[in-house]
Amino acid sequence: MKRYRLVFGLLASTVFLSCKTPAQTVSPNSLKAVEGQLFLDNGDTVTGKISMNQEVLIAPDIQVAGENGSQQFHLMDVKGYAANGEVYELKHTENHIHPRSGFYFMKRLTPDGAAMHLYEHLERKQKSKSPMDVAYQPVYYVQLPGEKLDRVYASFSKALVPHFHQKMAGYIKDCPALQQQVKQKQKGFFYSRMDATEAQRKEVLLRIIESYNNCK
């Protein structure tokens, strides 16, 4: 009898543990059972354990498991989410082929409601032929003034380089003092396509964006 009780206890424990999926954050676009809030395009907010994998070619719907059960949401119905103390928004890069491709959740680095934004995207890079051997590198994207809410441009994109001082100056012409700093290539307000690292581009863009938002 004790043997059967032990076997039953082990089976019950296995079932119980399998029902409690451990939280895992692989990247902002790959989550498993992470506590957070999902923000929908219709203004609703859904709270629960978020699971998604937007890194595969055919991504499944986003799932939120809450007190009242599990709900699924199509990517195009989602505005963003908050988890792990950060806010992530769904953004569309200029590099896309299929209408659904090019959409990624990116961490917002600027205050909500700003006129110009900077986002951090952790880009997945394959290190070898092994599908499990990957690394994530930060790439920074700008949401330009007056641009569609979901469209962003990489720091090295044609929207910004070459001739960064000319292109950026055209976007911020409603702040003349800042525009002159950029046009004159003042230190901290300019970067070249060839010389700057991604971290250096981030610093320059963040400085310009903060100055522009304070000007508005």
pLDDT tens track for 43-63: 999 999 999 998 887 889 999
Both 75 and 35 in a single domain?
yes
CA dihedral 31, 33, 36, 42 (to 10 degrees): 80
Both 104 and 196 in a single domain?
yes
177: CB partners within 8 A, 6+ apart: 215
Residue 12: inside a domain: no
Mean pLDDT value of segment 184-193: 95
pLDDT over 50 (residue 17): no
- Would you state the structure tokens that stand for residue 36, as one six-digit string? 């957070």
> What is the tens place of the pLDDT at every residue in 194-212?
889 999 999 999 999 999 9
Both 171 and 95 in a single domain?
yes
Both 97 and 165 in a single domain?
yes
pLDDT band at 91; cut points 50, 70, 90: very high
Both 90 and 147 in a single domain?
yes
Please give the pLDDT value at position 16. 35
Residue 38: inside a domain: yes
Residue 73 to residue 61: CA distance in whole angstroms: 5
Residue 55: which CATH number? 2.30.30
pLDDT over 50 (residue 4): no
Structural domain count, the chain: 2
Please give the pLDDT value at position 148. 78
Please give the pLDDT value at position 193. 82
Residue 164: inside a domain: yes
Both 146 and 105 in a single domain?
yes
72: which strand partners?
A: 63
Both 38 and 69 in a single domain?
yes
Q: For the full predicted model, state whether its pTM sits above 0.95.
A: no
Of 53, 81, 109, the last residue of a domain is 81
135: which strand partners?
A: 125
Residue 17: inside a domain: no
Residue 41: inside a domain: yes
Long-range contacts of 181-185 (CB under 8 A, 24+ apart): 181/211, 182/208
Residue 5: inside a domain: no
Grouping H, G, I as helix, E, B as strand and the rest as coil, residue 206 is helix
Residue 55: inside a domain: yes
Q: What is the residue range of 189's domain?
A: 85-216
pLDDT over 90 (residue 8): no
